[in-house]
Structure 1
């Protein structure tokens, strides 16, 4: 734990009464709002965090949130990433209380592992001030998604914290310690086709949204029903073939018996 975080851990509750944790200002466009929901919901729908080295068999909790402030220190202005991801934490059961209603670092005991910003204008300072602040506070991965290239020629930048709390870009867009990656995906989300930012798992496969998982489950159920119907049809056909074979055998036996009786009568006449 950094010295700054260790100091921030001990904050009297009365010192945060003046802090504004939420406001009524509309800050997102429709695309950003949908993307935030896709990025958070897909993690809860389809992602399992990598095991903790100290407790490999224990399932890990995580908190993924959109448009929630991260308060690093009482006297410091918070940052409000479009999405953040923090491992091994969970919201407090009394999350309406002031000290639990947002991400106070001293309450959660750690900073998030990922902060993600969606650029919508040139005023956000995502590649300058915010980048420096996230690095100073030890956020492992910082993602800047700039779909309209307002800040640079790069639509997607993924930074990993390195030596001296400096970010270095990752050209592969992977977040290796989390078993996650990011990619640009052209497709439909909530009836709207566009290019979207999507999570990948460690093998490079898309992490599915809840809708995609439901659709996949429906396809599998339909395929299982088709296989069952096919097997039933085959069984019925096999039964019919067996019945036909049995009837044919009985017919042949009857003909054979008739032939034997005819042969015996001929012998008796001679």
Structure 2
């Protein structure tokens, strides 16, 4: 389920034209840091980095070291799986807990923990070096100022899977759609346009018939 959740988050951003070439958005991707000569690597389920240094043509980016290779991540998301993944671990010793790594080592501004089974989403924001749990708005969504979007939970079907999904909304409350939803939206628009044309044709026919009943030749009008 984790790969589907991560792909869905990226898909709507991409279709909305909100992903730039300078960004790095990835899942299960190694974030690296060197602490006391030891290399520490964590692979969050989803990460959004606003600006990274380009790599040579033909190369594949296999990991990322903030500051050295670009900016620190704006937001990191972890999806709780069947096995304990240490999303809340504050272990301050090597190999370090995820929470400690994101909060104290990388100092990621926004950390989210999502439970796909129950649809529970917790968002924490870095404040004076510590994560503080955030509150949702009246629509149960979190405002992510760094991305200028709301993040929330949506229950429904995608890729033949009915589940709780993480979705984006703009500041006006409009849902950022997936590709399948855009196709369906366009289909409905086409059907509506066709229906309106048919109704217009029927109205013209009725008008012509009425004029004929009144002894008026429509072609002379």
Smaller-chain TM-score range?
0.7 to 0.9
How far apart are 1:208 and its partner, in Å?
Answer: 1.3
Equivalent position to 1:199, from 153, 168, 171: 168
Which SS does the other structure have where 1:199 is aligned?
A: strand
TM-score, normalising length: structure 2: 0.77
Q: Which residue pairs with 2:42 in the alignment?
A: 79
Distance 1:90 1:109 in 2: 5
1:72-221 aligned within 5 A = 72-73=33-34, 75-89=38-52, 92=55, 94=57, 96-97=59-60, 100-106=61-67, 108-128=69-89, 129-136=97-104, 137-148=106-117, 155-163=120-128, 165-172=129-136, 173-221=142-190
Q: Is the 8 A contact 1:157 1:170 kept in 2?
A: yes
Higher helix proportion (structure 1 or 2)? 1
5+ residue gaps, structure 2, are 90-96, 137-141
Q: Is the 8 A contact 2:53 2:70 kept in 1?
A: no
Q: Which residue pairs with 2:139 in the alignment?
A: none
Q: How many residues align?
A: 203
TM-score, normalising length: structure 1: 0.65
How far apart are 1:72 and its partner, in Å?
Answer: 3.2
CA, structure 1 residues 112+159, in 2 after alignment: closer, same or farther (shift >3 Å)? same
Q: Is the 8 A contact 1:46 1:210 kept in 2?
A: no
CA RMSD of aligned residues (A): 2.9
Higher strand proportion (structure 1 or 2)? 2
